[in-house]
Structure 1
Amino acid sequence: MATNVFGNPVTDETVRLVSPNITQITARDRARVALQYMNAEEKATNVSRFVHNLKEAYGTGTSTLGMIYNATGGNLTFDLNHTWEGAVWHSPYAQIIQNGQWAGFLHVRDRLIGPSKEAIVYRGVNNDGAGRDWMLAWNTSRMNYQNRVYAEIRTPGEFGSANWNAIDSKMDSQTNNYSTTALGGFASASIGAGSSPEFVGIMSLDDLGSNFMAMASDVSVVSQSLDSKYVDDVDGADEEPPAE
């Protein structure tokens, strides 16, 4: 398992532990159990600790403490990232996130007063086995500006030729929470306030039932507040970032 991926995967065997009488297990069944197991064996706690340790090693400066969860019922594979400003720091995006696993990263600004602003795309399948791409995007601004998020789901490869200016405009009209259901998939994105907030993205499926869909938008399993816990933007605190 990669060092920035946390938790044992939720498999058919896990589903049978929860529902021993089930006869035919689907991706939706695995997705539901993944949502129930979001902090099993403290995996949400561990990914949070990981990104905060990265932040403390990085130091002051605008940054996004990213935590993403796979509750799609199958593997998600990293497809691409689109950078508006900034870069992932020290720990690259996880290449594979199995169902029921968290992955963490720290994305940081690349100029003194610049934002941390990026989109990432992961590829998996919906309940019918059709390929889908989940896109999560964030814009963390310096000082007291509004942080924003956005998400979309498309068919495989569409983000490779996406109009990123249009996506940026859509994100600019959002605030700190966004969710979408499309093409058999579900995605939610949430971000806190301040210059180094936590960002939580959850990738899942549609039609899981109201209780489970509520879980897919609930970030309290990771943190009671996603707001920045760091003093990055007071006079004298926001210095040049450390060397790689």
Structure 2
Amino acid sequence: MIDMGDAVFGNPITNSTLKRLPEFEDDYNITSIDRACVALDMKNAEEKNVRALQYLEMLKEKCGVDLGTLCLLYNATGDTIKLVTYKNWYGNIGASPYPMEIANGQWGAFLHVKKSPGPNSVGAVVYRGKDPTGVECDWMVSFDNPDNKVQLNTKAYTEVREIDHFLLDSTWATIYNLMQSSGYFHDSTKDKDNKKGCSLSVSIGNDHFPIAVAIFTLQDV
């Protein structure tokens, strides 16, 4: 049981991990779908999810502001995902940076906070992973956490696209507008332009420090 740095939690799930399982010990053709399936089954193994949330709660207590978004990212794609870029519409990253890499079977965690005098925490993060055929693609999670909970609700939105899709400034205006018509839950598979075989879902709470949980995985695992 290890934590890979301050913001990543759990043991990577690799071919070696699967080889120790009875159903795979004689399997010489382990695929990314196999690794993804095992990672999804072990999402809460060894309390790695609990440790990731405890880490965020610690950051929350020390952040010095009264609004932020506790972001948990779980990688069950079968391969490592790597940070590509991020977007801050309102607010910014808290005391700890975005996880640079999240291995298959690991939780990544970061706190996004409002930036005074602005009232909201609205941002996005993009990681590069692979589809079931091994082709690289970019996975985007966005969240909108407004201060005014009387008139406005939190929202979250996801997309999986070809590499570098989210490096264009014009893309972010479109994503922001789509997020405004989203809700507390979104799955990239609802999108007709979703990268085939990929599934990126996100859910978010609705208080001043909501937890946003994103699951990166493959379809039909």
Q: What is the TM-score normalised by the length of structure 1?
A: 0.82
Paired residue for 1:234?
none
One-letter amino acid of the counterpart of residue 72, structure 2: M
1:155 maps to 2:168: no
> Helix, strand or coil for the counterpart of 1:163?
helix
Report whether the alignment pairs 1:205 with 2:218.
yes
Task: Encode CA deviations 1:102-137: one digit per residue, 9 max, x unaligned.
Answer: 011110011345210001000011121101100000
Which amino acid in structure 2 is aligned with residue 12 of structure 1? N
CA contact (8 A) 1:143 1:195 kept: no
Distance 2:99 2:118 in 1: 28
Find the aligned partners of 2:117 and 2:27 in 1 and give their Cα distance. Answer: 55
Q: Which position in structure 1 is the counterpart of 2:20?
A: 17
2:209 paired residue number = 196
Match of 1:146 among 153, 157, 166: 153
1:78, distance to aligned residue in structure 2 (A) = 0.1
What is the 5 A alignment of 1:77-156? 77-144=82-149, 145-156=152-163
The alpha-carbon deviation at position 165 of structure 1 amounts to 1.1
Following superposition, the deviation at residue 143 of structure 1 comes to: 3.5
The answer as to 2:67 corresponding to 1:62 is: yes
Deviation string, structure 1 residues 122-169 (Cα, Å, up to 9, x no partner): 001112110110000000011412000000000111111152111111
**Contact 1:142 1:195 (8 Å CA) reproduced:** yes
Whole-Å separation in 2 of the counterparts to 1:113 and 1:192? 21
Q: Which sections of structure 1, spanning at least 5 residues, go unmatched?
A: 209-244
Please name the residue that 1:36 is paired with: 41
Corresponding position of 2:182? 174
Shift of 1:40: 1.4
Q: Which stretch of structure 1 is more off in the superposition, 195-204 or 105-114? A: 105-114
Point out where structure 2 has 5 or more consecutive residues left out of the alignment.
Answer: none
TM-score (norm 2): 0.90
Contact 1:143 1:194 in 2 (8 A): no
State the AA in 1 paired with 2:75.
N
- Corresponding residue SS for 1:164: helix
Match for 2:16: what amino acid?
Answer: E
Give the letter for the 2:135 counterpart. Answer: A
Give structure 1 regions of 4+ aligned residues with deviation exceeding 6 angstroms.
none
Partner SS, residue 25 of structure 1: coil
Q: Deviations over 1:59-86 (max 9, x none)?
A: 4411001111111100100000011011
Provide the alpha-carbon RMSD of the alignment.
1.2
Seq. identity, %: 36
Residue 132 of structure 2 aligns with an amino acid whose one-letter code is N
